[in-house]
């Protein structure tokens, strides 16, 4: 392959957005997309939500096969990249073949974390990352009465709410003192906990999982000092690890992900990284985010750079999660300092928005079933506006009226 070729490893959200941005720019680079998964690139968010509800629900494709053909993008599915030879500027593929690159983009995402010390395969213990995982989980949910979810993060709670809606008895076991503890404020954790419990989901916080007891390839119970817990189906949803081994083995700088600069370039000037696997600078810290916004916006920045532009990634990150009747929307980031939180009631019972200020400046907003307030807050944060906290708290006052929007 000639030196003007761009090879992208991974066929997820970041990789496909990067292709789309390159194609939209109309440049004459040859683009080759390679991914480990055998199926056409698809949306991951529905896998813990609508996809689990109906046995015949298909995946939602990011692009049809014909789009790649028409765009002249070569798509190689079911191809795992085993190694990068940076001297020779080639990739070593699982098939043993080699592939040259001019510029290389790593969009390798993350993989689900497993429980240390547990055997790799038990028929009723599941992980959720890919469409293949989701199909297996869906079939298992259909065949069980009770679901135990280990991990009270976004994916665990989404699956818990979906299973509860399907009439299953659901228990969530969370090791930490609150739900979604790494990603949301204590006030939002408490609100979501109350809503899930009211919907009949059993949630145990600061809980010890206990020793797993297996019989004939199945997990039958968890044996904790406080007693035994029978298991029908168990989902392990304890977070994700970046797929950074490929980068690390080739000598690229890595640190909880592949280290990139604000233009998504790694420590090798011809290699870039985007999406869940990339660890990037923002403000005084380095971050690695797992969200669609992050994957897509980083891909846009990388496309600009690959085409000679000077874009930098300086986002106001946003995220959403659907948990039963709750639609959670979050925008902004807070750092380690103290927060001043202002509550604003939403339009219906159970709806609210939490406005988090640091040193008098609005930094982050979390909403539950309050999309209109969330959209106003997002525009404020994107434009650096910071309304008076006292006025924000007054739910009788439309948010839009507090500060003019661009």
Ligand X SMILES: Cc1cc2nc3c(=O)[nH]c(=O)nc-3n(C[C@H](O)[C@H](O)[C@H](O)COP(=O)(O)OP(=O)(O)OC[C@H]3O[C@@H](n4cnc5c(N)ncnc54)[C@H](O)[C@@H]3O)c2cc1C
Cβ–Cβ under 8 Å, residues 375 and 351: no
37 near ligand X, judged by CB under 6 A: yes
Taking residue 85's Cβ as centre, other Cβ atoms within 10 Å add up to 12
140 near ligand X, judged by CB under 6 A: no
Total residues at the site for ligand X (CB under 6 A)?
A: 35
Binding ligand X by CB under 6 A: which of 5, 243, 279, 353? 243
291 near ligand X, judged by CB under 6 A: yes
Binding ligand X by CB under 6 A: which of 101, 109, 203, 272? 109
Binding ligand X by CB under 6 A: which of 15, 33, 180, 370? 15
295 near ligand X, judged by CB under 6 A: yes
Binding ligand X by CB under 6 A: which of 11, 131, 163, 192? 11
Cβ–Cβ under 8 Å, residues 397 and 373: no
98 near ligand X, judged by CB under 6 A: no
Please tell me the distance from the alpha carbon of residue 19 to that of residue 31, in angstroms, as a whole number. Answer: 7
Strand order across the beta sheet in which 218-224 lies: 211-215, 218-224, 227-230
Instruction: Specify the 3-state DSSP secondary structure of 71.
Output: helix
Nearer to ligand X, 168 or 344 (CB): 168
Binding ligand X by CB under 6 A: which of 50, 80, 256, 285? 80
The CA radius of gyration of the chain, in Å to the nearest whole number, is 22
Please tell me the distance from the alpha carbon of residue 369 to that of residue 373, in angstroms, as a whole number. Answer: 9
Please tell me the distance from the alpha carbon of residue 276 to that of residue 221, in angstroms, as a whole number. Answer: 34
Binding ligand X by CB under 6 A: which of 6, 31, 33, 34? 34
Nearer to ligand X, 135 or 218 (CB): 135
Please tell me the distance from the alpha carbon of residue 386 to that of residue 401, in angstroms, as a whole number. Answer: 13
**Site residues for ligand X, window 162-221 (CB under 6 A)?**
none
35 near ligand X, judged by CB under 6 A: yes
Closest CA to 373 of 383, 360, 394, 390: 394
Please tell me the distance from the alpha carbon of residue 244 to that of residue 249, in angstroms, as a whole number. Answer: 9
Closest CA to 260 of 250, 245, 275: 275
Binding ligand X by CB under 6 A: which of 47, 131, 244, 365? 47
Strand order across the beta sheet in which 352-358 lies: 318-323, 326-332, 361-368, 352-358, 340-345
9 near ligand X, judged by CB under 6 A: yes
Nearer to ligand X, 212 or 257 (CB): 257
39 near ligand X, judged by CB under 6 A: no
Nearer to ligand X, 212 or 275 (CB): 275
**Applying CB under 6 A, which part among 179-187, 193-201, 204-212, 285-293 lies near ligand X?**
285-293
Nearer to ligand X, 50 or 383 (CB): 50
Instruction: Specify the 3-state DSSP secondary structure of 100.
Output: strand
Taking residue 290's Cβ as centre, other Cβ atoms within 10 Å add up to 19
Instruction: Specify the 3-state DSSP secondary structure of 369.
Output: coil
107 near ligand X, judged by CB under 6 A: yes
**Applying CB under 6 A, which part among 30-38, 191-199, 204-212, 250-258 lies near ligand X?**
30-38
Tell me the closest approach of the beta carbon of residue 211 to ligand X, in angstroms. 28
Nearer to ligand X, 174 or 342 (CB): 174
Please tell me the distance from the alpha carbon of residue 127 to that of residue 134, in angstroms, as a whole number. Answer: 8
29 near ligand X, judged by CB under 6 A: no
Please tell me the distance from the alpha carbon of residue 13 to that of residue 44, in angstroms, as a whole number. Answer: 8
Binding ligand X by CB under 6 A: which of 21, 45, 52, 103? 45
321 near ligand X, judged by CB under 6 A: yes
Nearer to ligand X, 222 or 364 (CB): 364
**Applying CB under 6 A, which part among 5-13, 69-77, 357-365, 382-390 lies near ligand X?**
5-13
Cβ–Cβ under 8 Å, residues 59 and 42: yes
Cβ–Cβ under 8 Å, residues 368 and 397: no
Residues that bind ligand X (CB under 6 A): 9-15, 34-37, 44-45, 47-48, 80-81, 107-110, 128-129, 155, 243, 246, 275-276, 290-292, 295, 319-321
């Amino acid at each position: 392959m000639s030196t003007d070729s761009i090879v992208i490893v991974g066929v997820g959200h970041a990789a496909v957005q990067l292709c789309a941005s390159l194609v939209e720019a109309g440049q004459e680079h040859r683009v080759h997309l390679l991914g480990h998964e055998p199926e056409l690139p698809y949306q991951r968010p529905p896998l813990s939500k609508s996809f689990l509800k109906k046995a015949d629900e298909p995946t939602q494709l990011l692009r049809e096969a014909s789009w790649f053909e028409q765009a002249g993008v070569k798509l190689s599915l079911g191809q795992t990249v085993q190694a990068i030879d940076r001297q020779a500027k080639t990739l070593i593929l699982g098939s043993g073949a080699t592939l040259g690159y001019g510029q290389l983009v790593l969009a390798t995402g993350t993989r689900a974390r497993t429980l240390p010390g547990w055997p790799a395969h038990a028929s009723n213990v599941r992980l959720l990352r890919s469409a293949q995982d989701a199909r297996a989980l869906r079939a298992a949910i259909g065949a069980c009465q009770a679901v135990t979810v280990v991990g009270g993060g976004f994916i665990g709670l989404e699956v818990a709410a979906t299973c509860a809606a399907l009439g299953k008895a659901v228990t969530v076991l969370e090791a930490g003192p609150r739900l979604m503890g790494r990603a949301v404020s204590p006030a939002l954790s408490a609100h979501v906990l109350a809503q899930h419990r009211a919907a009949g989901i059993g949630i145990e916080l600061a809980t010890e999982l206990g020793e797993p007891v297996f019989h004939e390839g199945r997990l039958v119970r968890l044996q904790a000092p406080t007693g035994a817990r029978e298991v029908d189906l168990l989902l392990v949803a304890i977070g994700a690890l970046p797929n950074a081994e490929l980068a690390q083995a080739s000598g690229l700088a890595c640190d909880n992900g592949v280290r990139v600069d604000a233009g998504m370039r790694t420590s090798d000037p011809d290699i870039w990284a985007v999406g869940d696997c990339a660890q990037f600078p923002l403000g005084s810290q380095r971050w690695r985010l797992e969200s669609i916004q992050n994957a897509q916006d980083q891909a846009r920045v990388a496309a600009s750079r690959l085409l000679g532009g000077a874009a930098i990634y300086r986002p106001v990150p946003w995220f959403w999660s659907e948990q039963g009747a709750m639609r959670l929307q979050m925008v902004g980031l807070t750092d380690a300092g103290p927060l001043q939180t202002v509550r604003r009631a939403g339009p219906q019972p159970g709806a609210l928005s939490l406005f988090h200020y640091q040193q008098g400046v609005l930094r982050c907003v979390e909403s539950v079933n309050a999309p209109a307030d969330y959209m106003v807050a997002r525009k404020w944060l994107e434009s650096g506006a910071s309304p008076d906290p006292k006025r924000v708290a007054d739910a009788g006052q439309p948010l839009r009226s507090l500060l003019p929007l661009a």
